[in-house]
Amino acid sequence: MKHFFYILIFNYSLLITNYSQWVVVSTQGNQAVNFPSNNTGYSTANGITRKTTNGGFNWSSLSGGNLTGIFFINDLTGWVVGYPGYIGKTTNGSSFTQQPTGIQDRLNDVFFINDNTGWIAGGDFGTEIMFKTTNSGTNWLPISSGLPNKMFSIYFIDENTGWCVGGPSAPKVIKSTNGGLNWVLQSTPATTPLYSVHFADANTGWAVAGYLGGETIINTTNGGANWVSQTSNDNRYLRECFALNANTAFAVGQGGKLIKTTNGGANWLVHQTGSSVELWAIDFVNDTVGYAVGSTVVLKTTNGGVTFINNISNEIPGEFELYQNYPNPFNAMTIIKFELPVGAARRVALTVFDMNGNEITVLLNKTLSAGEYDILFNASDLATGVYFYSLTVGNTVITSRKMILIK
* Helices (runs of H) and strands (runs of E) counted in the chain: 1, 36
Give domain status of residue 8, yes or no: no
Give domain status of residue 188, yes or no: yes
H/E stretch holding 63 reads: strand 60-63
Between CA 163 and CA 179 the distance in angstroms is 10
- The model's confidence at residue 306, banded by pLDDT at 50, 70 and 90, is low
Q: Is pLDDT of 3 > 70?
A: no
**Where is the domain boundary, 276, 301, 326?**
301
- The model's confidence at residue 270, banded by pLDDT at 50, 70 and 90, is confident
Q: What is the DSSP string of 290-326?
A: EEEEETTEEEEESSTTPPPEEEEESSPPSS-EEPPPB
**φ and ψ at 254, to 5 degrees?**
-60, 140
Q: Are residues 294 and 145 in the same domain?
A: yes
- The model's confidence at residue 339, banded by pLDDT at 50, 70 and 90, is very high
- The rounded percent of the chain whose pLDDT value lies above 90 is 61
Among candidates 289, 196, 209, 305, which has minimal Cα distance to 248?
Answer: 305
Q: How many CB atoms lie within 10 A of CB 387?
A: 21
Q: Residue 356 is part of a domain; what is its CATH number?
A: 2.60.40.1930
Q: Are residues 236 and 340 in the same domain?
A: no
**Where is the domain boundary, 301, 333, 360?**
301
pLDDT in tens, 195-216: 999 999 999 999 999 766 789 9
Q: Is pLDDT of 18 > 60?
A: no
Q: Are residues 289 and 313 in the same domain?
A: no
Q: Is pLDDT of 133 > 70?
A: yes
**Higher pLDDT, residue 113 or 25:** 113
pLDDT at 380: 66
Q: Are residues 161 and 107 in the same domain?
A: yes
> Do residues 90 and 74 lie in contact, with contact meaning Cβ atoms separated by under 8 Å?
no
pLDDT average, residue stretch 173-189: 96
**Where is the domain boundary, 301, 320, 354?**
301
pLDDT average, residue stretch 141-148: 90
> Do residues 27 and 58 lie in contact, with contact meaning Cβ atoms separated by under 8 Å?
no
pLDDT average, residue stretch 178-199: 95
Q: Are residues 255 and 373 in the same domain?
A: no
pLDDT at 308: 59
Q: Are residues 257 and 392 in the same domain?
A: no
Give domain status of residue 185, yes or no: yes
Q: Are residues 145 and 229 in the same domain?
A: yes
Domain extent for 255:
22-301
Mean of all residue pLDDT scores within the chain: 87
H/E stretch holding 2 reads: helix 2-17
Give domain status of residue 9, yes or no: no
Give domain status of residue 116, yes or no: yes
Among candidates 294, 309, 305, which has minimal Cα distance to 261?
Answer: 305
Give domain status of residue 178, yes or no: yes
Q: Are residues 216 and 285 in the same domain?
A: yes
Give domain status of residue 16, yes or no: no
Q: Are residues 284 and 314 in the same domain?
A: no
Q: Residue 222 is part of a domain; what is its CATH number?
A: 2.130.10.10
- The rounded percent of the chain whose pLDDT value lies above 70 is 91
Q: Are residues 184 and 278 in the same domain?
A: yes
pLDDT at 147: 85
Give domain status of residue 3, yes or no: no
The structure's pTM equals 0.74
pLDDT in tens, 45-91: 877 899 999 999 999 999 777 889 999 999 999 999 998 899 999 99
Q: Are residues 236 and 329 in the same domain?
A: no
The total domain count for the chain is 2
Q: Are residues 291 and 339 in the same domain?
A: no
**Greatest mean pLDDT range, 144-148, 286-290, 397-401:** 397-401
- The model's confidence at residue 120, banded by pLDDT at 50, 70 and 90, is very high
